[in-house]
A and B are shown apart, each in its own frame.
Chain A
Amino acid sequence: MEQSTANGSAAASNSKLAQLIEKEKKSKIKWGYLWAIIGAIMWGTMYLPGVAVWKIPDFTDPVFPKGTAGILATVVVIAIGSGVVKSIITLGFWDLGESKLSDVPKAIKHWKISRVMLFTTLLASPLGVGGYQLATGLVGGSFAAASSLLAGAFAGIGATLLFKEKMSKKAAIGITAIIIGGIFIFNPAGLINDINSSGGGIASILGYIGGFFAALTWGLEGVFVSRVSDFYDYAMSMTLRAVFDLFLWVFFCLPLALLAFGTDTIFGIMAHIYVHPAFWLWEVLYVCGFSAYVGMYRSFPLIGSGRGMSVSSLYVIPGFLSLYFFMGEAIGWWIILGTVIAIAGTLYMYSESGESLADGTRVVEDDELTTALA
């Protein structure tokens, strides 16, 4: 009798343990998605200031070269201003606040890891942000947001091929739905029409290529950052991203711009833009949106970069809403339809993650892995 009671209570505590483990697993996945959604909302808030800074330069001023050259030079000047604000806020506000500042020099010095972040930043920032700025400046804010929606798909494909991230059939369906939603938001008929009919043809094609590059490089950013996350806290990845960003724009892009457009032009544009208090105000707001990286980078270890990037590309929704409310951009039916499809894809993906991510985000050759606590 005593024996069976003892067995009974052991079984009860075992089932309690199993329940608690189950609960923690679910909560990890729930938080993975929540962080990605928080990231998406922050991205959305970043969106309006990102468009607004482009209203500051007065392109009729003789300091700007005509056409595309003027836009390119302005991209560099705006990115450097943005990089300065980003580094100050990340280091002085975020890392100081979380008392992680002492880890920053170590994170930079561990070259085998930090070089991955440097490469990632090169991809995502001069190429990605530059492409994005081109898309915003040459084609339009809505287009820029829509094209970068594809980043999630690139992340999913990249992470699966390069680092064996788990990609179930259902997750792939979810990501595909987000892409289809993106294509609707793209308004393909309008795009083809734009390309065919545009008077400044080359400029707008450059804008389209910029949008595509932004998506590709941001997708790869997700893939590499999720790998770096195995060794660095999200705050370190975010800090390196900001500091390397400034470094690359100042020491790599600025000299190129000086060569290409001339010292007088670049410093003239800097003087033209940086004296506007409004520029710095928009940059601070823009960089507050940079805290989207908190959400995104935190989601990667929990649900993987493919799912994390895809969900965070839902940022077009708050992005479009803010453009609609503040800038009076029209919302067509195709944007609404695309949005519905993209959200449905996200929910579908969420519904299956409990199963497919139960034993972690990666495919590993480790037969003992699932046995002990299954």
Chain B
Amino acid sequence: MRDEDLTMKTRLVKLLYDKGEAWDYELVEEIKRVSGKNTEYWTWVIRYWVMELENSNIFKSIEADIDDGSHFAKDKVLYKVKMTKLGKERIESLL
């Protein structure tokens, strides 16, 4: 399937699958850019998805840092994430 035919959340998983690993704010920016959803609202929606995916063991965080306010908000945690084995299996079976 083409990337632009995927729903936003599926596309987020696919993006990390392609990238290997990435910081959550990079993923958020990229998804906002490709989907043309530019508002602040979408920043939080997509960040929430990253968090859900990590919680469901599709992503795993490998590094963390404190946001100085330049990405989401001051004192939010920034995570660098990677696909888990489960996540890779799932996306491969669905594309």
Contacts and interface: CB of A to CB of B under 8 A. Distances in A.
Nearest to B58: A230
Contact of A365 (B45, B62, B85, B93): B85
Contacts, number: 102
Contact of A110 (B7, B54, B60): B7
A325 B58 CA distance: 45
A364 B85 contact: yes
Contacts of B13: 230-231
A224 to B, nearest CB: 14
Contacts of B34: none
Contact of A230 (B6, B8, B90): B90
B85 A107 contact: no
Interface stretch (A15-23, A72-80, A174-182): A15-23
Interface in B1-56: 1, 5-10, 13, 37, 45, 49, 51-56
Contacts of B84: 364, 366, 369
Interface in B56-71: 56-58, 60-66
A301 interface: yes
B56 A362 contact: yes
Nearest to A303: B55
B77 A21 contact: yes
Interface centre among A21, A229, A236, A360 (most CB of B within 10 A): A360
B9 A361 contact: no
A369 B52 contact: no
Interface string A230-259: 111100100000000000000000000000
B8 A103 contact: yes
Interface string A282-320: 000000000000000000011000000000000000000
A232 B9 contact: yes
A337 B87 CA distance: 43
Interface residues of B, number: 36
Name the residue among B55, B64, B66 with the largest chain A CB count within 10 angstroms: B55
Interface residues of A, number: 36
Given A230-B13, A230-B90, A366-B84, A110 B55 contact: no
B72 to A, nearest CB: 12
Nearest to B85: A366
B62 A229 contact: no
B71 to A, nearest CB: 14
B82 to A, nearest CB: 8
Contact of B7 (A226, A232, A302): A232
A357 B56 CA distance: 10
Nearest to B62: A372
B55 A360 contact: yes
B27 to A, nearest CB: 15
A17 B65 contact: yes
A222 to B, nearest CB: 14
Contacts of B87: 230
A236 B9 CA distance: 10
A107 B13 CA distance: 15
B78 to A, nearest CB: 10
Nearest to A104: B7
A366 B64 contact: no
A17 B64 contact: yes
A368 interface: yes
B79 to A, nearest CB: 8
A360 B1 contact: no
Given A110-B7, A233-B8, A362-B86, A20 B56 contact: no
A364 to B, nearest CB: 5
A99 B5 CA distance: 17
B23 to A, nearest CB: 14
Given A106-B5, A230-B90, A372-B63, A113 B10 contact: yes
A170 interface: no
Contacts of B52: 229, 301-302
Which 4 A-B residue pairings sit nearest by Cβ, starting from the closest? A301-B52, A360-B57, A362-B57, A231-B10
7 contacts: A231-B90, A233-B8, A233-B49, A236-B9, A362-B57, A364-B57, A373-B62
Interface of B: 1, 5-10, 13, 37, 45, 49, 51-58, 60-66, 75-77, 84-87, 90, 93-94
